[in-house]
Amino acid sequence: MYNQQLIAERTQMIRASITRLKELAALTKEDFVGDPDNYAIAEHHLRRALQALLDLGRHIVVKNNFGNPTSYREVLDMLAQHSVLDPVFARKVRGMAGYRNRLVHDYAEVTNEEMIDILENELDDLTQLLNQLLVFTVNR
């Protein structure tokens, strides 16, 4: 039913990106801002993790015939409607879909401060989202 190779590859990619993001989160604000490569690395890994998470979510939606989402927000909504994601958590992370689009289309507007806030406050949500997706695929 599921493409196990896709799941394994995306999972590895997400975990590697989260690891790198956590390393950057451990830097002081001054050290993070002091090296412009840190922002570029954080942006890359955040965008990559978000894209891979949303790809996994879409794969689950399609393979389970939950619907035909036309946006990444719809992917998250459908996952919540079908109990793949905890509904409260799904509402919390719904903005991830929009943030992925912001990183891709409005990248010039994302600031160091915004990236630092994400590194300090949002990385656990990426891990929790991955875990909820994986639990569903294993139990199906």
Quote the pTM value: 0.94
Please list, in sequence order, all residues whose beta carbon lies within 8 angstroms of the beta carbon of residue 3, skipping any fewer than 6 positions away.
59
For residue 101, the domain's CATH number is 1.20.120.580
Domain that holds residue 129: 4-139
- Asked if 111 and 96 touch (Cβ cutoff 8 Å), the reply is no
CA separation for the pair 92, 30 (Å, rounded): 29
The count of domains in the chain is 1
The string of pLDDT tens digits covering residues 49-101 is 999 999 999 999 999 999 999 999 999 999 999 999 999 999 999 988 888 88
Q: How many CB atoms lie within 10 A of CB 99?
A: 19
